[in-house]
Chain A
Amino acid sequence: MNPEPEQPNHDEARRTFLKQSSLLTALAFTPGPVLQAAAAEIDEKVAAVFEKIPVRLDINGHKHKLSIEPRTTLLDLLREQLGLTGTKKGCDYGQCGACTVHIDGKRVNSCLTFAVMQEGKEITTIEGLAKGDDLHPMQEAFIKHDGFQCGYCTPGQIMSAVACVREGHAGSEDEIREFMSGNICRCGAYSNIVAAIQEVKGGGQKV
């Protein structure tokens, strides 16, 4: 059943509106080549120009001036546009925690937030956790306690673990388990992850 194949759907209509309104308001100061492109019906390229939004992000201490689509998630921006593939996509629905990053020091599922919402924020990914060749104590502890197997959930586990300690939610094994339950490890290295977090917490180092 497909009763209305010819009718543009909602998204299509939104796109058309955006194109038209952008064109109208921007017409006066739109450079010639863009108008020519529009006239030549190369409209998707024009649409691309107008649908991108300038954003400044601080990622791992590096300032990025970017122009991105508003629908791009922070996760997809990191992985697909900035080559920061340490942050993992495990579900894209905020259910597995593999995409956990720190935004202004707090843990966030980067699949559930749009990149344009992070204007001016400080973002730390797994690539930014170590200080040069010196691993973060949590990274060291994960290696020592074998807090992973396949390694795919590991960046998210570590980012979450660091935040868990900072938040003061690593007081006991049970508390760690509760506050780490948003990070799934299908290999089942949970006992070793808890041991790693306990060691870092017990060591009293600044995390």
Chain B
Amino acid sequence: MSEQLQKSQSGAIGEPMNRVDGRLKVTGAAKYSAEYELPNLVHAVLVGSTIAKGSIKNIETRQAERAPGVLAVITHLNSPKVPGFAERDHPAEPPTAGQPLRVFHDNKVVFNDQPIAVVVADTLERARYAASLVKAQYDQDKHQTNLEANLGQGYLPAQAKKNPKSPLADYQRGEADAYKNGATKLEAEYVIPSEMHNPMELQSIIAHWEAPDRLTVYDKTQAVIGTQRAFAKDWGIPEANVKVIATFVGGAFGNGLHNWPHETAAIIAAKKVGRPVKLVLTREQMFTMVGYRPYTWQKIGMSATPDGKLTAITHESVGQTSTYEQFTESTLQQTRMMYTAPNVTTRYRIASLDVSTPVWMRGPGEATGAFALESAMDEMAHALNLDPLEFRLRNYTDTDPDNGKPWSTKYLKECFQMGAERIGWSNRKQQPGSVKSGEWLVGYGMGVGTFGAHRGSAKMKAILTKKGTVVLQSATTDIGPGTGTAMVQIAATTLGLPPEKITFQLGNSTFPTAPSQGGSSTVNTVGAAVQDACIALREKLHQLAAATPNGQVFSAAKPEDIVIMEGHLSLANDKLAKAAYSDLLRQNNEAEVEVTIESKPGGSDRDKYSMYSYSVHFVQVHVQPLTGEVRVKKVISCADAGTIVNQKTAGNQMMGGAVGGIGMALTEGAVIDDRYGRYVTKDLADYHVPVHADAPNMEFAFVNKPDPHVNALGTKGIGEIAIIGMAPAIANAVFNATGKRIRELPITPDKLI
């Protein structure tokens, strides 16, 4: 028993337990979506358009059709009809409004590399070769792919037009554009380029029609239920007839939150050839059709009193979207709630270009907005000759200035303190360029991040097996944060069982419904459901045990005293108490004891409090004055994310987000050649995600105090705040090192020399 207790403690909430799927991942046994072996599986390769806008005049497929091993070449001319496409109004699911791309529906081309054909062959090599033989002729229209040349086209998104209370609508607190009359004021424009998620796993799918009205997909997605619904709707079949499997997802960072053309192309191809079809995108295609952080232009006007109190902020942004869907994100939210300024104006616009649709990318919107806001805060602090940390403290707010509500919890000051100490903020000099290390200039910078602490509803099944192990099932996914591990720890803690007795199964649409894995809300939502399911299971066991022969000792005890043992239940305070599973199951007439519950945010806390998680990133950079090379030397990322379920995986996530922020700040930017409307950055040699040598030894720290209003666990979410505020922290450190303010990311050497 004592040994059992010890093990149980090692898996308790907060403990740095090793990942439950670690062994599968380090041995190569974890199966990702393209790795399932199905009988008669064939391979599909997409052919993309070579123009950005126009229509297909002629498409030559004969050579491809005659190539060895080819089973089908599908274009708009011979594609099986997707019933859902015929409807005039087939609105996109969130995160966009509009009409998702109808693959092979007609001859229209709306972005460069849009799939215009899919070739199916018996081997990958043959499909790839045959795809190279497909040639198209076009009637080309003039395209627009440059946001900055089209800022004037920016418009209010449909959502905001319809609903003036939408967070995307124009916002005003106090006087409009009051910064113009401020004592000390600044006005500056900030630009971030399109950034690509570029998860290491290529987007891939195996589509298998098991019957004419029954579809199974092994799909790389963050939303198994969302994907199930989307394909059921497309094909006019019941949701239960679509099965989506995503047991392992090789990173996604947001691009698995929307369904993309290649998924539909594979499903169409499988329909056409009557065999399971595997389609894996190339890295080049990962740039052109599976979403990205949109190119965004921003302008900030800011004013403050000489003693460092903000008087006004105006924050405007224009982000790019496609011509067929309106993608929106909350770029300006942080500006409304982070600081005390009495006068705040925000205006959010999007502009439609002849490009594919963007999608949420880690820290969506907020990471973009924070680059402008947190850079401007640093600029204003410099103008006032104030320490940037002191300037933020002077404008710190204990209530939400957006709506007057108190925060559910806010421990940002604690984050400031932890981070400032660890980075050695006291070594920072107010005068830029005044610290050197050898010939390198040294600079310090900080940036604040925040993201809503969201909790949704989820169902959960909990099963007690005869062996005394517990299996939990949920249609959530694990794209890398360690969802399964956190859930096992929550269940272990709730049930008082050692973690090795608990299995958490996910990534399957036949499991109870869970929301998509996005918005830093999985532990908030699914974790709460695990806790509720375990409590419900224990209550059911208590009732069943009380009804067994000699069950009086159980009926006299409380449900939380129930101890799950191998083969029987016992009681924590009465080890002799025994209720055999065979007796429980006999009364229940089941093979196993199981409960399925739905866990929802309850009570009125949402109305009473504003709920956010917070981060601050402190960095030290070295800048080579002759070459303009920037090296990030030290990073300390601190977060108020509520209860930390696993220090090890949460810390990893925090550091990983900061690595993403290094990319955002210094290396990442997708470049379109506007003459052709086509990306010239199309692989990882042109588009630079951070490598080992770009990342110093990252550090992290958590406040780790529960937020009792988000859920009973007290969690607030980590994934987004891990990156939000990191890019401006680096930009601010570069300014501190060099005196050069770079307002257009990435900060490449050419901008510093």
Verify B200–A93 contact, CB threshold 8 A.
Answer: no
Assembled-state Cα–Cα distance A184/B125 (Å): 26
Verify A89–B202 contact, CB threshold 8 A.
Answer: yes
B648 contacts the other chain (CB 8 A): yes
**A109, chain B: closest CB distance, angstroms:** 12
- When distances are taken between beta carbons in the complex, the residues of chain B under 8 Å from A126 are 26-28
- When distances are taken between beta carbons in the complex, the residues of chain B under 8 Å from A194 are 692, 697
Majority secondary structure of chain A interface residues (helix, strand, loop or mixed): loop
Verify A90–B697 contact, CB threshold 8 A.
Answer: no
- 1/0 per position for B507-526, CB-CB distance to A under 8 A? 00000000000000000000
Assembled-state Cα–Cα distance A76/B132 (Å): 18
Assembled-state Cα–Cα distance A95/B133 (Å): 26
- 1/0 per position for B20-45, CB-CB distance to A under 8 A? 01111111111110110100000100
A5-B60, A125-B28 as given contacts; A149 in contact with B684, CB under 8 Å: no
- When distances are taken between beta carbons in the complex, the residues of chain B under 8 Å from A151 are 21, 24-26, 30, 248, 250, 480
Closest to B682 in A: A93
Verify B684–A190 contact, CB threshold 8 A.
Answer: no
B198 contacts the other chain (CB 8 A): yes
- When distances are taken between beta carbons in the complex, the residues of chain B under 8 Å from A191 are 655, 695, 697-698
- When distances are taken between beta carbons in the complex, the residues of chain A under 8 Å from B23 are 135, 143
Verify B684–A71 contact, CB threshold 8 A.
Answer: no
Binds B, one of A21-29, A30-38, A79-87, A199-207: A79-87
**B121, chain A: closest CB distance, angstroms:** 10
A2-B137, A80-B123 as given contacts; A188 in contact with B690, CB under 8 Å: yes
A2-B60, A90-B202, A125-B28 as given contacts; A48 in contact with B697, CB under 8 Å: no
Closest to B686 in A: A95
- 1/0 per position for B46-70, CB-CB distance to A under 8 A? 0000000000001010010001110
Closest to B685 in A: A95
Verify A184–B26 contact, CB threshold 8 A.
Answer: no
**A110, chain B: closest CB distance, angstroms:** 13
- When distances are taken between beta carbons in the complex, the residues of chain A under 8 Å from B685 are 93, 95
**A185, chain B: closest CB distance, angstroms:** 7
Verify A5–B35 contact, CB threshold 8 A.
Answer: no
Assembled-state Cα–Cα distance A106/B399 (Å): 59
A72-B125, A88-B250, A191-B655 as given contacts; A127 in contact with B27, CB under 8 Å: yes
- When distances are taken between beta carbons in the complex, the residues of chain A under 8 Å from B123 are 69, 80
**B206, chain A: closest CB distance, angstroms:** 12
Assembled-state Cα–Cα distance A149/B200 (Å): 11
A2-B60, A12-B63, A154-B25 as given contacts; A187 in contact with B480, CB under 8 Å: yes
Interface size on A, residues (CB 8 A): 69
Closest to A158 in B: B26
Verify B249–A150 contact, CB threshold 8 A.
Answer: yes
- When distances are taken between beta carbons in the complex, the residues of chain B under 8 Å from A56 are none
Residue in B28, B135, B648, B683 whose beta carbon sits within 8 Å of that of A5 in the complex: B135
**B284, chain A: closest CB distance, angstroms:** 9
- When distances are taken between beta carbons in the complex, the residues of chain B under 8 Å from A163 are none
Assembled-state Cα–Cα distance A126/B35 (Å): 15
A89-B280, A152-B201 as given contacts; A183 in contact with B648, CB under 8 Å: no
Assembled-state Cα–Cα distance A184/B690 (Å): 8
B85 contacts the other chain (CB 8 A): no
Verify B200–A92 contact, CB threshold 8 A.
Answer: no
Closest to B22 in A: A143
**B445, chain A: closest CB distance, angstroms:** 19
Verify B691–A186 contact, CB threshold 8 A.
Answer: no
Verify A1–B692 contact, CB threshold 8 A.
Answer: no
- When distances are taken between beta carbons in the complex, the residues of chain B under 8 Å from A190 are 655, 659, 690, 692, 695, 698
- When distances are taken between beta carbons in the complex, the residues of chain A under 8 Å from B253 are 186
Residue in B26, B250, B651 whose beta carbon sits within 8 Å of that of A135 in the complex: B26
- When distances are taken between beta carbons in the complex, the residues of chain B under 8 Å from A123 are none
Verify B27–A11 contact, CB threshold 8 A.
Answer: no
Closest to A150 in B: B480
Assembled-state Cα–Cα distance A4/B78 (Å): 24
Q: Which of A162-194 contact B (CB under 8 A)?
A: 173, 176-178, 180-194
A93-B283, A154-B26, A184-B200 as given contacts; A146 in contact with B656, CB under 8 Å: no
Closest to A141 in B: B26
Assembled-state Cα–Cα distance A144/B26 (Å): 11
- When distances are taken between beta carbons in the complex, the residues of chain A under 8 Å from B480 are 149-151, 187
Residue in B68, B648, B652, B658 whose beta carbon sits within 8 Å of that of A48 in the complex: B68
A48-B68, A71-B125, A143-B19 as given contacts; A181 in contact with B481, CB under 8 Å: no
- When distances are taken between beta carbons in the complex, the residues of chain B under 8 Å from A154 are 25-26
- When distances are taken between beta carbons in the complex, the residues of chain A under 8 Å from B692 are 176-178, 180-181, 183, 185, 190, 193-194
Verify A146–B652 contact, CB threshold 8 A.
Answer: yes
Verify B684–A184 contact, CB threshold 8 A.
Answer: yes
**B130, chain A: closest CB distance, angstroms:** 10
Assembled-state Cα–Cα distance A11/B63 (Å): 12
Closest to A19 in B: B68
Q: A96-B684, A152-B248 are in contact. List 12 more A-B contacts (CB 8 A).
A: A2-B58, A72-B125, A79-B35, A80-B123, A139-B27, A151-B25, A151-B250, A154-B26, A180-B692, A186-B251, A186-B660, A188-B656
Q: List chain A positions with a Cβ less than 8 A from chain B.
A: 1-2, 5, 8-9, 11-12, 44, 47-48, 69, 71-72, 76, 79-80, 83-93, 95-96, 98, 125-127, 129-130, 135, 139, 142-144, 146, 148-155, 158, 173, 176-178, 180-194
CB-CB nearest 3 A-B residue pairs: A86-B28, A188-B659, A152-B250
A-B CB contact pairs (8 Å), 23 listed: A5-B60, A11-B129, A71-B125, A80-B124, A83-B37, A89-B202, A91-B283, A91-B684, A148-B22, A149-B251, A149-B652, A149-B656, A150-B199, A150-B250, A151-B25, A152-B201, A178-B693, A180-B692, A182-B691, A188-B655, A188-B656, A188-B658, A192-B655
